[in-house]
């Protein structure tokens, strides 16, 4: 009987201790700093190619650490190389045509300028001859008015000179009109040659764009790492056909990781972006990392069911994202952590 009483007493003491510990734990939760549990997430980068090609080489494996610029895999881009060669050949032909069209346009401009100068000279000559003719004609009129004082031979000579100059003026006028017609034709030819030269120049620009695009596609054949990271997954094996735009390799950057936990509405006022956070991981007992609050969501949502109690699941909470440096890479994606916000004791 005494033994049973002793056992009951021990059980009562143990139960009282557990209840006391639970009460103390709840008191710490109620009055301690804001905290919550989350999962480590890294920056994932999916690498894809802008060409559909067969995989020639895969140089990495899951879990491998890579540096920026490392070759991850190589594609068979024979088609892309052929397209590049064709584009370069077309560009060379377009440049040759552009050079020839430019030379023709330059020659046409020279002919236009010469024809314009000739037409201008013809107009000037016609005006000069016409002015001389008019002067001689006026002199002949004055001599006719002085018939008694001027010999008939002088009057006839002046009139003949005026008649000859009139013929020269008409010929100069006709020559000027012909020169203007030639100048107009030369201008039309120059404009046509300039249009052809501009079309050839645009063809060169189109060819250069085609070559640039082809070179970009050829560059896609070597898939390199854009940053220091860890290979999370390799989707294809050598010999497989990689579809256009589909992820080929997934990288995870662990130098800077993040974790999201949830705060109830009553504790939201205690946290702001930029606030200090302390992160502890179950995998590394006794160690902690300092981070900072990156964002505090403006929208409430229900507490995730996988990390909170049934009572907490009935409350609205706000996601809080914490970022922290992880240069040594000890914190891995999917690793559960406990996040505490110092200075938010209640």
pLDDT tens per residue across span 74-126: 999 888 889 999 999 999 998 888 888 888 888 777 777 777 777 677 677 66
Query: Do residues 172 and 257 both lie within one domain?
Result: no
pLDDT for 51: 85
pLDDT for 74: 93
Query: Do residues 215 and 244 both lie within one domain?
Result: no
pLDDT for 129: 64
Burial 212-233 (b: 16+ CB within 10 A, else e): eebeebbebbebebeeebbbbe
Query: Do residues 88 and 133 both lie within one domain?
Result: yes
The set of long-range contacts for 59-65, using a CB threshold of 8 Å and a minimum separation of 24, is 60/231, 60/234, 60/249, 61/231, 61/234, 62/231, 62/232, 62/233, 62/234, 63/230, 63/231, 64/230, 64/231, 65/228, 65/229, 65/230, 65/231, 65/329
pLDDT for 291: 92
Among residues 156, 189, 219, the one where a domain terminates is 219
Query: Do residues 94 and 108 both lie within one domain?
Result: yes
Inside any domain, residue 328: yes
How does strand 229-234 pair with strand 276-281? unpaired
Query: Do residues 204 and 263 both lie within one domain?
Result: no
How many domains does the chain contain in total? 2
Query: Do residues 205 and 320 both lie within one domain?
Result: no
Q: Cα(first)–Cα(last) distance of the chain, in Å?
A: 49
Residues of the chain with pLDDT under 70: 1-32, 119, 122, 125-126, 128-179, 183, 302-315, 345-346
Range of the domain at 336: 32-77+229-341
Q: 256 to each of 141, 156, 295, how far by Cα in Å?
A: 108, 112, 15
pLDDT for 13: 67
**DSSP label at 267?**
G
Query: Do residues 46 and 164 both lie within one domain?
Result: no
Query: Do residues 113 and 194 both lie within one domain?
Result: yes
**DSSP label at 51?**
S
For position 59, which CATH number holds?
A: 2.40.30.170
Inside any domain, residue 2: no
Shortest CA distance to 258 belongs to which of 277, 285, 271? 277
C-alpha triplet 293, 295, 300: angle, nearest 5°: 120
pLDDT for 222: 92
Inside any domain, residue 122: yes
Contacts of 54 (CB under 8 A, 6+ apart): 75, 76, 239, 240, 241, 242
What distance in Å separates the CA atoms of residue 248 and residue 232, rounded to the nearest whole number?
11
Among residues 189, 219, 249, the one where a domain terminates is 219
**DSSP label at 330?**
-
What distance in Å separates the CA atoms of residue 237 and residue 117, rounded to the nearest whole number?
75
Inside any domain, residue 297: yes
Query: Do residues 325 and 205 both lie within one domain?
Result: no
Inside any domain, residue 190: yes
Among residues 172, 192, 219, the one where a domain terminates is 219
Three-class DSSP category at 252: strand
What backbone torsions phi and psi does residue 238 show, to the nearest 5 degrees? -55, 135
Inside any domain, residue 319: yes
What's the predicted TM-score (pTM) here? 0.57
Query: Do residues 259 and 323 both lie within one domain?
Result: yes
pLDDT for 47: 94
122, 176 contact by CB (below 8 A): yes
Each residue of 151-189: pLDDT tens digit?
A: 655 555 655 665 665 666 666 666 666 667 776 777 778
C-alpha triplet 69, 75, 79: angle, nearest 5°: 125
pLDDT for 267: 79
Burial 116-136 (b: 16+ CB within 10 A, else e): bebbeebbebbeebbeebeeb
Contacts of 286 (CB under 8 A, 6+ apart): none
């Amino acid at each position: 009987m005494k033994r049973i009483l002793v056992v009951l007493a021990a059980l009562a003491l143990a139960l009282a201790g557990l209840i006391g510990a639970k009460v103390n734990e709840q008191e710490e939760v109620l009055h301690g700093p804001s905290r919550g549990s989350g999962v480590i997430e890294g920056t994932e980068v999916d690498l894809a190619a802008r060409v559909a090609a067969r995989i020639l080489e895969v140089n990495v494996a899951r879990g491998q650490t890579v540096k920026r610029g490392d070759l991850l895999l190589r594609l068979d881009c024979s088609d892309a190389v052929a397209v590049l060669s064709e584009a370069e050949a077309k560009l060379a032909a377009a440049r040759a045509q552009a050079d020839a069209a430019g030379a023709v346009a330059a020659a046409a401009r020279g002919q236009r300028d010469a024809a314009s100068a000739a037409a201008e000279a013809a107009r000037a000559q016609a005006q000069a001859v016409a002015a001389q003719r008019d002067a001689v004609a006026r002199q002949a009129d004055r001599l006719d008015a002085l018939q008694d004082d001027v010999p008939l031979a002088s009057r006839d000579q002046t009139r003949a000179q005026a008649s000859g100059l009139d013929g020269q003026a008409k010929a100069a006028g006709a020559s000027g009109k012909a020169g203007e017609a030639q100048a107009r034709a030369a201008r039309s030819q120059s404009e046509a040659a300039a249009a052809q030269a501009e079309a050839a120049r645009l063809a060169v620009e189109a060819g250069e764009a085609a070559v640039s695009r082809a070179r970009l596609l050829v560059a896609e054949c070597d898939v390199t790492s854009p940053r220091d990271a860890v290979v999370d997954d390799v989707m294809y094996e050598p010999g497989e056909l990689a579809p256009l735009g589909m992820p080929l390799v997934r990288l995870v950057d662990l130098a800077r990781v993040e974790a999201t936990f949830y705060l109830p509405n009553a504790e939201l006022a205690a946290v702001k972006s930029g606030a200090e956070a302390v992160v502890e991981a179950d995998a590394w007992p006794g160690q902690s990392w300092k981070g900072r609050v990156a964002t505090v969501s403006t929208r409430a949502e229900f507490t995730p069911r996988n990390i909170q109690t049934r009572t907490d699941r009935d409350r609205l909470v706000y996601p809080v994202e914490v970022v922290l440096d992880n240069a040594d890479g000890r914190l891995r994606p999917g690793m559960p952590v406990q996040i505490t916000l110092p200075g938010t004791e209640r």
